[in-house]
Amino acid sequence: MTSSIESIKKPREATFRYEAYDRQGKLVKGKVKAPNELAAERLIVAKGYNPIEVQVAPSMFSLEEALPTFFKVKPHDVIVFSRQLATLLRSGISLLPALEILQNQVAASRAFRKVLEAIILDIRGGISFSQALSKHPKAFSEIYCRTISIGEQSGELEGVLKRMADYLEKQNMLAKKISRALIYPVIVIGAGVVVIIILLTVVMPNLLDIFITMNVELPLPTRILIGLTEFATGNTLYLIISGAILAAAILWMIKQPTGRRILNLIQLRAPLIGTTTLMSELGRFSRTVSVLISSGMNLQEIMEMAPYSTNNSIFRSALDELRDKLYLGEGLSAPMSRINLFPPLLIQMVAVGEESNTLDFTLGVVADFCESTADEKASTIVSLIGPLATISIALLVGFIAISVLMPMYTLTGAFG
């Protein structure tokens, strides 16, 4: 009886998964059992870690655990949330009731509703809005959280939310345009590859067996096709294994610092995509600095965060160098002139902004120019992919057709 009473009094423990930094600053992941989130954080701190995200782990099998990509918070959810919250604050509703309204009416993903619920609980627990946001780094970036913190301190939270919504929308506009434009070329390439595979593995072996048994000298295209077909059908397993090993090797190389730098350098220097990538990175950097300055953040804090706004390691190294030179009192335009990634137009605009104390405006103008240039270049590249893919597939199918028809004419002449 006593043991049953103790089991009733004992709080039920849940499993929490966490991400934290160890004493060396390395990111670690793990799970702990605790009755609540606060107790879980205390256990993580007791291990010597600095927790950055703690949440309840899904029990047993979960689609969200197995397929996190399909259940993560999307940028569109954050953009809509920022705009709706800014509208509610502008109408005179205070922060917590506004968040509760959004929680009940938000038409977002299940993952974002869970994040919003946790934010509301944290605010009720006494922490600030920006601190509650920072506990969900996969949904809200450090730049977003720091900007919201400045909005809270200055009393301009509504305006900061609107600027961050515009900023995020511009960041994702180019990617959305490219993904939509690539739908048709991908369908064409996929259909063409499927047709060619079926022809080489199902249709062609039967036809080519007939040609070989006729003991007629076959044209060169037909002999090439026979060789390709025999190689593909006789080494299918080896080809699949080799392709898997090659793909795994490439993925492993990309994840290594050296391989990532090589890939990023190719992205910046390649003839077709180099200009688009560089303009996109410059536009993102200019927009980030412009928005954060207009939100009230000083330049030193901005340059501390700016390198984390890009995934390109080459460009991140350039921003790290700018930050270091800024700390030495050289400003931005002078060290920019010594880095070949920054074009003269950007350097001149930054110099003008520094002299006239209008850096947020001038960088906003530069961001508009870079983003529009990147958009035009990307649209041009994407518009070429469709015709090139169609021509390539047509040439391959035409080669196969010629390889089949030429022996038929030869056989017809021999019978004649």
C-alpha 374/C-alpha 396 separation (Å) is: 33
Region of residue 113 (left: phi > 0; alpha: psi -120 to 50; beta: else): alpha
What's the pLDDT score for residue 413? 58
The per-residue DSSP string of 178-203 comes to HHHHTHHHHHHHHHHHHHHHHIIIII
What's the pLDDT score for residue 11? 47
pTM score over 0.85: no
Confidence of residue 7 (pLDDT cuts 50, 70, 90): very low
Mean pLDDT within 8-37 = 73
C-alpha 266/C-alpha 337 separation (Å) is: 22
Tokens, residue 114: 């869970």
Q: What are phi and psi of 52, to 5 degrees?
A: -115, -20
What's the pLDDT score for residue 245? 93
Mean pLDDT within 307-311 = 80
C-alpha 147/C-alpha 343 separation (Å) is: 28
Whether pLDDT at 373 is above 80: yes
pLDDT in tens, 46-98: 888 888 878 777 654 444 444 444 457 788 888 888 888 999 898 888 888 88
Whether pLDDT at 364 is above 70: yes
C-alpha 227/C-alpha 211 separation (Å) is: 13
pLDDT in tens, 195-245: 777 777 777 777 766 766 766 677 788 788 778 777 877 787 888 898 899
Mean pLDDT within 411-415 = 58
Q: Describe the crossing of helices 95-105 and 110-124 by its angle, rounded to 10 degrees.
A: 150
What's the pLDDT score for residue 58? 61
What's the pLDDT score for residue 3? 42
Confidence of residue 297 (pLDDT cuts 50, 70, 90): confident
Sheet holding 14-21, edge to edge: 27-34, 14-21, 50-56
Are the C-beta atoms of 407 and 211 separated by less than 8 Å?
yes
Mean pLDDT within 391-410 = 79
Are the C-beta atoms of 335 and 323 separated by less than 8 Å?
no
Are the C-beta atoms of 119 and 99 separated by less than 8 Å?
yes
Q: Which of 69-73, 101-105, 308-312, 345-349 has maximum average pLDDT?
A: 345-349
Share of residues in the chain with pLDDT > 90 (%)? 2
pLDDT in tens, 117-169: 888 888 888 888 988 888 888 888 888 888 888 888 878 888 888 888 888 88
C-alpha 290/C-alpha 284 separation (Å) is: 10
What's the pLDDT score for residue 107? 53
What domains does the chain contain, in order, with CATH numbers? 2-57 (3.10.20), 70-181 (1.20.81.30), 184-416 (1.20.81.30)
What's the pLDDT score for residue 202? 74
C-alpha 118/C-alpha 297 separation (Å) is: 27
Q: Give 411 or 315, the one with higher predicted confidence.
A: 315
What's the pLDDT score for residue 118? 85
